[in-house]
Amino acid sequence: MRRTPSLADVAREAGVAPITASRVANGAENVDEATRSRVLDTMGRLGYRPNLAARALATGHFKSIGVLTSSMRSPGNMWTIGEIVTAAAERGYTVTLLPFELRGGETVVNAYDRLTHEGVDGAIVVAERRLDDDTSITLPPGVPVIFIDAGGGDEYTVIDSDQAGGARMATEHLLDLGHRTVHHIAGPRESYAAMRRLAAWRRVLEERGLRVPEAPIGDWRSTSGHEAVDALLADGATAIFAANDQMAFGVLQRLHELGIDVPGQVSVVGFDDVIDADASWPPLTTVRQAFDEVGRVAIADLLERIADHDRPTAGVVVPVQLIVRGSTAAPA
């Protein structure tokens, strides 16, 4: 008695050829109803479970896509990944998570190496950090790859929210309220997204001929927002645009500590609209990224690329939306 029944067992038991059982298992049309139900019944009775490895070996594709990610901690990343998983599942694909960095200190290259073994039909790189160009070269050929939130050069498809547009909206919102300028707390230099937001913020100020204050560089975490506040206030800040919500939370906290009224004395804007952005005090004005849309577009594009490897690469920019809440107002 073998451990687990195979299609051959089912076929023998049901009195059909293995291929017919296979057709039933795959829901093929051209099977007689009586035969189908007999096979189905036998499968149930035997407790048949298709072996995906065998199927993948025979068909050459795995119905699985790999998601390479550097950080499972960042709320935005997790959100994106969740949406990718859902979108993939809807299309009958499974998602395998491949972490960039292990605690032992494995590198990006190793993650790619891992990818080459995984038996995935394609991959999505969700990297908040910029990848060095020479590591991206090590991507295994023949595996379609899509980048989210990272510069991948022209050779790969990059899908991302409209970072520049969002930063522009945030900055213009504050200026339109009457602030003389806007102070920015940037994300880390390694992040393409952070650099795009920084550049767009600067651009708006320059376009309007306004003073461009020095922008401290944060690490995305709330503490770096917290720590940046004092210097910004010393520089006369009345409007602070943080490159993500977490840093904005840190800013809010420091302003509360100092007894500074928000938005009465200082306005604050974040970026991302993470899950609790509306639960802060005051509720945070921020730029909402359509993470679900990003995930959907990424999956859709990747599946097309899997079907046609020679599809030309093309980036997609997903629109963002300014969500005005209670942390912004006209200057005193």
Partner DNA sequence: GGGTAGCATGGTTGCGCTACCATGCCCGGT
Partner DNA sequence: ACCGGGCATGGTAGCGCAACCATGCTACCC
Residues that bind a second copy (CB under 8 A): 3-4, 47, 49-57, 62, 64, 72-73, 75, 78-79, 81-83, 85-86, 89-90, 94-99, 102-104, 114, 116-119, 140-142, 222-223, 225-226, 246, 249-250, 252-253, 256, 275-276, 278-283
Select from 27-35, 176-184, 217-225, 255-263 the region that touches DNA (CB under 7 A).
27-35
35 binds DNA (CB under 7 A): yes
228 binds DNA (CB under 7 A): no
Could you identify the residue written with the tokens 């394609």? 122
Closer residue to DNA (CB): 21 or 240: 21
Smallest distance, Å, CB 58 to DNA? 3
What is the C-alpha to C-alpha distance for residues 49 and 211, in angstroms, rounded to an integer? 67
Closer residue to DNA (CB): 58 or 279: 58
State how far the alpha carbon of 191 is from the alpha carbons of 14, 70, 126, 308, in Å.
Answer: 58, 12, 12, 30
Smallest distance, Å, CB 12 to a second copy? 20
20 binds DNA (CB under 7 A): yes
Residues in the chain: 332
59 binds DNA (CB under 7 A): yes
Closest by CA position to 327, among listed 240, 274, 278, 263: 263
50 binds DNA (CB under 7 A): yes
CA 132 to chain centre: 19
Helices (H), the chain: 7-14, 18-25, 33-46, 52-59, 75-90, 108-118, 133-136, 163-176, 192-207, 222-234, 245-257, 291-307
Which residues make up the interface to DNA (CB under 7 A)? 2-4, 6-8, 15-20, 22-23, 25-26, 29-32, 34-36, 48, 50-51, 54-55, 57-60
